[in-house]
Structure 1
Amino acid sequence: MAEEKKAAPTVEDIVAQTTIADVYRAAKQLEGVARKTRLIHSDYFSEISGNDVYLKPENLQHTGAFKLRGAYNKISQLTNAEKAKGVITASAGNHAQGVAYAAKKLGVKAVICMPATTPILKVEGTKALGAEVVLYGDGFDDAYAHSLELQKKYGYVYIHPFNDREVLLGQGTTALEIIDAQKDIDAILVPIGGGGFASGVALATKLVNPNVKVYGVEPANAACMKAALKKGEIVTLGSADTVADGCAVKTAGTLTYAFCKKYLDGIITVSEMEIMGALLSLIEKHKLIAEGAGVLSLAALSKLPMKGKKVAAIISGGNIDISTISALIDKALIARSRVFCFAVQLPDKPGQLELIAHILAAENANVIELNHNQAKVTDSFKKVVLEVTCETHNEEHVQRIIRALGQHGYEVERIY
């Protein structure tokens, strides 16, 4: 009688059978490939969080993100026959460049399906790493579906961005570096998209030192892992609209869900304004650039259920274009009352603009834009609307300006 084919391991089997030796094996594979990013102590984030905060700057990693750790570990584990087939994936972001980088290092053909709407800089960046880029569809779902068709047609090996054991083991090497650098660390914050990074970091941390807390961080607008853990099963969100586009995932992975369920201590969600504020603070205080998803851990620091502890916050990536940085900074400045825009009605006669300028100067507000508009006033031909945008210090400063204008008889309409 022919021997029965051995059943493939279940998700539960994979979780149960994965040990710390597997993470150390991944670390060995990554020696000389992944940069061991050093911890940076942050006085600023320590002060605002009430903890002793250390930044793990994976935005300074090769390709600008942690993703190459998992991609390289996965591709390096393939057999020679599998490597000869080439690898394929779908991504418009960090995973694309991680796979391309790893494949080039290992001499493996890589095909990356990217949406046709992908910014040209990301496309060219991926091509520069030696990958063949296929542009298809209007979004990730279209590109992903096409990548599966190409895999079936040409026999490529698929490199999933998160729902893969070897991928998450590679990501988990980040935790080994944190613990090695700061052996008395009390907690680690890690962002969650599909859950591969959080799975690897939580697994590695708990198997090295179960006393260290590990918290995942998700955008409130795309909290697929929190929803899954709350319901006790994988769920698909109706939308995932967030400035942290690297974590805009509607459905967590089956494998990553199981690992997070076993090893994570909790999930913290952060708002869009908190994400943008964290980005602004990182730029101002540390002169470091990160993407929206990259600063999730920083945005969650003030929400940690602990004080006076040593905390590592992982900055997961820094691949962001200049126009996006500019837009996020502008919104963060507004949210923090660092930019104040208001309108007042003025009599249409000489000297009124000068008076407003004197009031603002007396209150130490720097005017950056003026708009003098007569057409906006409909009830009087003798009045004009003046819109003013100025730099301010904080909300208290804004309120002081509003009071000063009011004392001179001006009724202020706050625009933002």
Structure 2
Amino acid sequence: MGTVQALRDVEGKKPVGLADVQAAAARIGDSIIRTPCLESRTLSEITGARVFLKFENLQFTAAYKERGALNKLLLLDETAKSRGVIAASAGNHAQGLAYHGRRLGIPVTIVMPRPTPIAKVSPTEGHGATVILEGEKFEDAYAHAVEVGKTRGLTFVHPFDDADIIAGQGTIALEMLETAPEIDTLVVPIGGGGLISGMATAAKALKPGIEVVGVQAELYPSMYAKLRGLKLPCEGDTLAEGIAVKQPGDTTFEIVRDLVDDIVLVAERDLEKALSLLLTVEKTVVEGAGAAGLAALLAHPGRFRDRNVGVVLCGGNIDTRLLANVLLRDLARSGRLARLRLRLQDRPGALFQIARIFDEQQVNIIEIYHQRVFTTLPAKGLITDIECETRDRAHLDRLVDALARGGYEANMVELA
């Protein structure tokens, strides 16, 4: 990795080059949003790097996937356009393809696994696509999409392992370097590798000294492991579901191997912190994958310190309940929300005495939970959990100290 060696196919040609990306930019430019690329002073202070954010979550479908999908659709011949396209996707690729397919009058069929939430099915159908639910896993849906495509004569549109898709995604790098030419490091989320392949192709050609760093969730280190010849598990519930890919593409792997300088991994806690910061500091909503770039800066500060870093906020499609949980968990980790577990004697006035201490410390009580039965305490004892709201960690510590002085042992219920 880290070289600018040209990737060759069997005919000795690059599958994607700068000219392809530039042609894609001209082709799709009037139909996608040229999203802002803005410096964040606050995030720069927090991370120690000069941070430039590319707001791809502001695309119409709230994700960068539109770029590659539209480029692919525009390059189809008239016969293929009239017959239509098919893809397997339960996420942003499906919506991008459906939206631009309807705009162009190209029939779009999307195959999704049967357990796909209705919240993902409905927007895709809302963009005019025909949705087929097939199989229990994505692999089942993918195989069915390929088979249906062959049977019906539909063009299969791969979400990342396709030269036209890669070229379309690479247009992001063109825009970033035009807006902020001082960027010397690009930090890009990696799932199957389409986004980073396109961006690295364009960026390395325009600015050979630029560093391109990929980011993967620790639970799905597929590209990271393959480049290093490792066998690492790719499983689990990650916040960054948009980059939870078990097997990178063949074309994308070769491009990443030749052009990408490094790949770093981020933990779920880093992703949650980054997502929360982007909402509270930048007032912008991103999905887990969209927060991966900032998560890398938080998890590996020494790696990026004093660099001019371009971070791609690649998508903003997140379930509102999940978003609420992430924000509440971040408040808990920062000490602004807490659950304290106390042992009390089951007698009149016991809870009043506790509440008095909370009042003295100006701490807001949100919920109180009593447990009298399922406890190892004597029959006259009880466990009380009190959820409360404080100003910060120091304020919470003062409350715990005051409870201790009052004769109460308060144990914090910690998050993972």
TM-score (norm 2): 0.92
- Distance, in Å, in 1 between the alignment partners of 2:375 and 2:238 is 37
Mapping for residues 136-155 of structure 1, pairs under 5 Å = 136-155=134-153
**Matched positions, count:** 406
Q: How does 1:12-411 map to 2 (within 5 A)?
A: 16=14, 18-231=16-229, 237-302=233-298, 303-304=300-301, 305-411=303-409
1:21 to partner: Cα distance: 1.1
Q: 1:116 to 1:36 in 2, by over 3 A?
A: same
- Could you tell me whether the CA contact under 8 Å between 2:16 and 2:167 is conserved in 1? no
In 2, the alpha carbon distance for the partners of 1:408 and 1:92 equals 55
Residue-by-residue CA offset, 1:213-272 (whole Å, 9 max, x unaligned): 11111101111111011118xx68442531111111111111111111111111111111
What is the aligned partner in structure 1 of residue 3 from structure 2? none
Q: Determine if contact 1:367/1:389 at 8 Å carries over to the other structure.
A: yes
Identity %: 38
Tell me, in whole angstroms, the C-alpha distance in 2 between the residues paired with 1:14 and 1:259.
Answer: 14
Q: Which amino acid aligns with 2:153?
A: G
Displacement of 1:277 in angstroms is 1.1
Indicate how the Cα distance of structure 1 residues 389 and 172 shifts in structure 2: closer, same or farther if over 3 A, else same.
same
- 1:398 to 1:14, Cα distance in 2 relative to 1, 3 A: farther
- SS of corresponding position for 1:403: helix
Secondary structure of the residue aligned to 2:213 is: strand
Q: Distance in 1 between matches of 2:54 and 2:10?
A: 31
CA contact (8 A) 1:86 1:156 kept: yes
Distance change >3 Å, CA 208–CA 364, structure 1 → 2 = farther
Structure 1 position 386, deviation (Å): 1.2
User: Deviations for 1:68-108, whole angstroms, at most 9, x for unmatched residues?
Assistant: 10011112111222223311001111000111122223221
Whether the 8 Å CA contact 1:236–1:250 is kept in 2: the answer is: no
The structure-2 alpha-carbon separation of the partners of 1:14 and 1:273, relative to structure 1 and needing over 3 Å to count, comes to: farther
Three-state SS of the structure 2 residue aligned to 1:63 is coil
User: Which segment drifts farther, 277-286 or 191-200?
Assistant: 277-286
Aligned equivalents of 1:171 and 1:339: distance in 2? 40
Shift, 1:290, TM fit: 1.1
For residues 240 and 160 of structure 1, what CA distance do their matches in structure 2 show? 24
Question: Displacement, 1:191?
Answer: 0.7
Secondary structure of residue in 2 paired with 1:78: coil
Q: Deviations over 1:178-228 (max 9, x none)?
A: 001011112111111111011111111111101221111110111111101
CA distance in structure 1 between the partners assigned to 2:412 and 2:61 by the alignment:
43
1:238–1:250 CA contact under 8 A, matched in 2: yes
**Mapped partners of 1:253, 1:295: distance in 2:** 22
Query: How far apart are the structure 2 equivalents of 1:32 and 1:324?
Result: 34
Specify the SS of the correspondent of 1:149.
helix
What root-mean-square deviation, in Å, do the aligned CA atoms of Structure 1 and Structure 2 show? Answer: 2.0
SS of 1:203's equivalent? helix
Structure 1 residues 12 and 268: CA distance shift in structure 2, 3 A: farther
Going from structure 1 to structure 2, the CA distance change for 1:389 and 1:142 (only over 3 Å counts) comes to same
2:346/2:380 contact within 8 Å kept: yes
The answer to whether the 8 A contact 1:240-1:249 is kept is: no
Tell me, which stretches of 5 or more residues in structure 2 are unaligned? 1-6
Q: Measured at CA, do residues 43 and 367 of structure 1 come closer, stay the same or move farther in structure 2, by a change above 3 Å?
A: farther
Q: CA deviation at 1:14?
A: 7.3
Aligned partner of residue 61 in structure 2, secondary structure = helix
Match of 1:413 in 2: 411
Mapped contact 1:11–1:255 kept (Cα < 8 A): no
